[in-house]
Structure 1
Amino acid sequence: MANTIQNNRIEADIVVCGGGPAGVCAAIAAGRSGKRTILIERYGFIGGMSTAALVYPWMTFHTVEGKQVIKGIGQEIIDRLMAQNASPGHLRDTVGFVNTITPYHPEVYKILAVDMLQDAGVKLLLHSFVDHVQVNGDRIEAVHITTKSGKIEVSAQVFIDTTGDADVAHLSGAPCLTGRDEDGKTQPMTMKFRMRGVDLPKVKQYMMDHPDEFYKKTPFSELAELPLSGVLGFFKHWKEADLPINRDQVLFFTGPNDDEVLVNTTRVQGLNGTNVEDLTEAETLGRKQVMMVADFMQQNLPGFERASISQVGAQIGVRESRRIDGQYALQAEDVVGGRRFEDVIARSGYPIDIHDPSNKSVTAAWVQGDGAYDIPYRCLLSKKITNLLTAGRCISTTHEALATTRLTPSCMATGQAAGTAAGLAVEYGVSPQHINVQELQNRLRSANVVLD
C-alpha cells in the first residue's frame, strides 16, 4: 500500500494522474504488479469523461466484423458491471457505425472502479489537482497537487499521465502538440445530456418506416429483432429546425434505463479545451445548446413527446486537446492500413472518426485488413522525460489518428499497457524507455490483452 501523507508529502513507486478509464486501468495494472501506486483525480469521483462528461456508451471493443480485439482490464470491468446488472455487455450498434457498443450504468461504474482500485492496493486521492511538476534533468521527481488539505508533494519513480489533456507532460516541459498541423484547431467539444420518458418502441418503428431519414449504415434489415442501441439521423427534422448548431443530424444512444437516451448532438467549435477562458465559454455555450436541442427533440421527434432532461454533464466533453510529441506518432495510414508493429501493446478496431473543427461534417475511414490496427509502445513514451508514460487521449498520434485512439476502450487498453510497463520499470530499476518490450507483451498477454 502507498504511504500516508506526512508533512504535506507522500511517496510511491508509481503515480497515475487522471482517473478516467485510462487512469483506472493504468492504476489497477500498476497496483497488481505489487508496486505502491497512487491515483490522483481532480473530481470527487472516478470516471473522467465517462462520468463527468457523460461519454456513453463505450465503443468499441470489436472490429467491424465483430472480432473482439480489446479485452484485459477493460473486459473485466464489463464482466463485473454485467454481474451487477449495470451493463448488458456488448450490443450490436444500431447506428451502424461500428459493430458493437457497450452501454453501462455510470453511477455503478464509479463505485466499481474504486472497488477494483482498492483491491489492487491503489491509494486514491480525490479532489486533487496537479498544478506543478518538479523536474530534475530529464526526470520528474514529484507532482504538486492542490487539495482541501493544502499543497501536497507526491513523489515516485514513474509517472503516468492519463489527464486527457497531457497536463503532467506539459507542465514537465515534455514537447506536446495540439490539434491539426495546419492551424492547431481541435475537434469540437460536446455537452452531453440524458432524457427520460422516451418512447423507444415508437422511435424504432419510425426508423423502420422512414429509413431514408437515417444513417445509411443503419442495419434496417435486422432492426426488428435487434434491441435499439443508438440512432443517427432525423435528417429532415433537424434541417427544418435550423438550429444554430453546426452539425447535420441528431445522434443519441439508448439506456441505461428503458425509457432513457444519452444525446450527443451539441457542438462547440473553435475553442481550446486547455485554455481557461475558452473552456469557460464552451461550458456556457454547451449548456445553452442542450436546452435548444432538448426542446427541439421534445417538440419535433416521434417518441419524445413526453421526454424531459434528466441529467446534463458535470463538464463539457473534450474530444481533443494536447497530446505528447512522443517517440512515435501513430499515423492515419497506420490505422487505415491495419499496420502491425513489433512493439505493439494494444489493438483497436475503431475507425478514424473526425468531427470537423470548423464545419458540419464527420469524416470517417475504416480499418482495412483484419479490421484492427496496432498501437506501439513508443506512442506512450515522451521524447524528453524519461520516467513519464502516457495513456488515453494524450498519447503520441497525429490529429487524424487521435480520432480513433481517443475512444474509451482504446484508452483502457493503453492505460493497462502503461501501468504494466511502469510496474516493470520499477521492478528492474530502469526507466520505462528501457524495459524489455517483449516481457511487457508477455505480461499483457497473460492478463488477457489481445496483441495478436
Structure 2
Amino acid sequence: MREQAVEDVDVLVVGGGAAGTCAAIQSAASGAGTMLVEKNGALGGTTTVAGVALPGLFHAWGRQVIAGIGWDLVCRAVDLAGARLPDFTDWRQPHYRLQVPVSAPLYAAVLDEAVLGAGVDLRLHTMVGAVESVADGWSVTLCDKEGLRTVRARRIVDCTGDADVVALAGLTRLRNPALQPGTLMVRLGGYRMEDLDVAALDEAHRRAVAAGDLLPADLSMSERPMARFLRSRGENTIHVTDVDGGTSRTRTAAEVAARRTLLRIHQFLRRQPGLESVTIDSWAVECGIRETFTIDGLARITAQDYATGRHWEDAVCNSFYPIDVHSPDGDGITIRPLEFGTVPTIPRSAMVPKGSRHMMVAGRSVSGDQEANSAYRVQASCMAMGQAAGANAALAAAAGCDITEVPVVEVHREVRALGAIVPGGTGPVDGEVSVGR
C-alpha cells in the first residue's frame, strides 16, 4: 500500500447529509480548516440518496423557527426548480403539507456548490476506518479508493446518523429494544385512480396477505391500505420491518429486504385489474432508516422535554415536528402534534457523548428517547443542529478548549451571522423572523 502523508484539519465532519453539510459550511465560515467525509457519491443523505426529498419543518405556528444555512440551501433548490414554497402562514394544514419538496438532483448540486464555495475539503466515496484520541484532538484513519490515509483533526462532528465515529472512538451508543421500520421511497405510474375499484383491491390485498404473497406491514397501514398507497403513488407508504441499519452487515440485509418488499408489491399490483401496466417511475437506491443508535450524551431529551417545549439552558437551536413513531411491526404510525405555541429546543449537552472532550454529534443520533428522536430526527432540525455543531467545533478548535467550554452565546453569534434563528426567536435581527420567501 502506498504511504499517505498525514493531513491536518481543524474540524473533521463525517457524514454529508442534512446535518453534515450545514456543519461543514458553518465550520469553514467560522474560520476553521474543514474536511467533509461522505460515504456516498452525492451529498444530501436522506434527502437525496434515500429519496425523502421533503425537508421540514422550518416553521411553527405561522412563523419561522429554523433558518440559516439549511434553509438557504433548500430555497436555492426550490428557486432552481421554478417551484414555490408552501403558505407557511396557514399553519392549520396537516404538517406534511408544510414540508418543502425539492428536486433531489438539483438539491445535490446546490450542496456541492455551497460546500466547495465555502472552502471545505470535500471527500466523497470515503469512510472512517479508525479513530484514536490524541493530544488536543483525534487521529483518524480514512479509507478512500487509493487506500488508507491518516488525518489529524482537532475536533470532530459526527453526522453519520448512526454515531459511527462515536463507536469507533470507543464511546457508548444506545439503542431501543424495538426499532422503527425502514421505508424504500418509490413513485409508481401507469394507472389512473378513476379506473380502479379500490374496495376490490383492498379485498385482494387481504387475500394476498393471508396467502403470504404480501406481508401485513408492506403497505404501512392496516386499514384500507390500497387507497392511501395508490393515491400517494407509493411514496413514503412502504414499511420494511425487522431491519437494522447500524452495521454494514445489517444494513446490507435491510437493503435486500427493501428491494424484496418492492418486488412483492410490484408483482401483486400487476395481477390486479387496472394495474396491469403499473410502472416504477423512480426509486431510492438506499432504504430509508429511521433509527439505529443514539449517543449516551451529557443530557438526554425525553418526549416530555420535547412535547412541552423545554427551553434548555444550553439550547443551541430549535426543533419542530410532531412526535411521529412508526410502529416497529409496521402496523401504522402514531402521530402526536405539539400543542399550540410549543417550539422545542435542542441542548448542546445532548450533542456531546459522555467521556469526550473534542467531539460533537449532530442529526438523528443526538441523545434522546425514541419518541423525542422520532421528531427531532427530521431534516430541518438536523440542519439546525449541524450548523450549531459546526460553529461550536470551529470555536473550540480555535481556542484549544473542550467542546463544552465554548460559551453558548458565542455559538449563537456565529450561527446568526449566517442567518440562523436561535432559541428565543432571535435571528439575524433580534426578534425578526420570516414566514418564507
Task: Bin the TM-score by the shorter chain.
Answer: 0.7 to 0.9
The match for 1:373 is: 344
The match for 1:104 is: 102
Structure 1 position 67, deviation (Å) = 2.6
**1:172 equivalenced with 2:169 (yes/no):** yes
The match for 2:431 is: none
CA distance in 2, matches of 1:95, 1:240: 36
Between stretches 155-164 and 239-248, larger displacement belongs to: 239-248
CA distance in 2, matches of 1:117, 1:154: 19
The share of aligned pairs that are identical, in percent, is 30
CA distance in 2, matches of 1:301, 1:365: 37
The match for 2:188 is: 195
Structure 2 letter corresponding to 1:436: P
Partners of 2:57 and 2:380 within 8 A in 1: yes
**1:385 equivalenced with 2:356 (yes/no):** yes
Structure 1 position 172, deviation (Å) = 0.4
The verdict on how the C-alpha distance between 1:71 and 1:110 changes in structure 2, with shifts beyond 3 A counting, is same
Between stretches 420-429 and 160-169, larger displacement belongs to: 420-429
Partners of 1:346 and 1:376 within 8 A in 2: yes
The match for 1:288 is: 260
The verdict on how the C-alpha distance between 1:342 and 1:360 changes in structure 2, with shifts beyond 3 A counting, is same
The match for 2:54 is: 57
CA distance in 2, matches of 1:364, 1:109: 28
Partners of 1:332 and 1:400 within 8 A in 2: yes
CA distance in 1, matches of 2:105, 2:175: 32
The match for 1:230 is: none
Correspondence 1:49-128 to 2 at 5 A: 49-63=46-60, 65-85=61-81, 87-90=83-86, 96-98=94-96, 100-128=98-126
CA distance in 2, matches of 1:187, 1:365: 16
The match for 2:310 is: 339
Structure 1 letter corresponding to 2:178: K
Structure 1 position 252, deviation (Å) = 6.6
Partners of 2:240 and 2:330 within 8 A in 1: no
- Listed one character per residue, the Cα deviations across residues 175-230 of structure 1 (whole Å, up to 9, x for unaligned) are 11012xxxx2211112222334565xx57x99xxx9xx9xxxxxxxxxxxxxxxxx
The match for 1:308 is: 279
The verdict on how the C-alpha distance between 1:118 and 1:364 changes in structure 2, with shifts beyond 3 A counting, is same
TM-score by length of 1: 0.82
CA distance in 2, matches of 1:12, 1:433: 20
The match for 2:432 is: none
- Listed one character per residue, the Cα deviations across residues 226-250 of structure 1 (whole Å, up to 9, x for unaligned) are xxxxxxxx97886576431413246
The match for 1:410 is: 381
The verdict on how the C-alpha distance between 1:268 and 1:446 changes in structure 2, with shifts beyond 3 A counting, is same
- Listed one character per residue, the Cα deviations across residues 9-38 of structure 1 (whole Å, up to 9, x for unaligned) are 221110000011110010011111121100
Partners of 2:185 and 2:236 within 8 A in 1: yes
The verdict on how the C-alpha distance between 1:411 and 1:33 changes in structure 2, with shifts beyond 3 A counting, is same
Partners of 2:127 and 2:143 within 8 A in 1: yes
The match for 1:216 is: none
- Listed one character per residue, the Cα deviations across residues 336-394 of structure 1 (whole Å, up to 9, x for unaligned) are 11222222211122011011113513122222241321111111111111100110111
The verdict on how the C-alpha distance between 1:86 and 1:123 changes in structure 2, with shifts beyond 3 A counting, is farther
The match for 2:428 is: none
- Which consecutive residues of structure 2, in runs of 5 or more, have no partner in the other structure? 426-437
Partners of 1:90 and 1:103 within 8 A in 2: no
Structure 1 position 396, deviation (Å) = 1.0
Structure 1 position 113, deviation (Å) = 0.3
CA distance in 2, matches of 1:53, 1:436: 36
Structure 1 letter corresponding to 2:102: Y
Q: Secondary structure at the match of 1:393?
A: coil
Which of these residues, 135, 155, 159, is aligned with residue 158 of structure 1?
155
CA distance in 2, matches of 1:328, 1:17: 22
Partners of 2:53 and 2:103 within 8 A in 1: no
Which of these residues, 16, 23, 36, is aligned with residue 19 of structure 1?
16
- Listed one character per residue, the Cα deviations across residues 128-163 of structure 1 (whole Å, up to 9, x for unaligned) are 1111111248x6512211111110111111100000
**1:433 equivalenced with 2:404 (yes/no):** yes
The match for 2:178 is: 185
CA distance in 2, matches of 1:338, 1:235: 41
The match for 1:227 is: none
The verdict on how the C-alpha distance between 1:409 and 1:298 changes in structure 2, with shifts beyond 3 A counting, is farther
Which of these residues, 30, 38, 41, is aligned with residue 38 of structure 2?
41
Aligned residues: 409
CA distance in 1, matches of 2:367, 2:239: 25
The match for 2:394 is: 423
- CA RMSD across the alignment: 3.0
Structure 1 letter corresponding to 2:319: S
- Which consecutive residues of structure 1, in runs of 5 or more, have no partner in the other structure? 214-233, 255-259
The verdict on how the C-alpha distance between 1:12 and 1:291 changes in structure 2, with shifts beyond 3 A counting, is same
The match for 1:226 is: none
Correspondence 1:246-261 to 2 at 5 A: 246=217, 247-248=220-221, 249=225
CA distance in 2, matches of 1:15, 1:253: 44
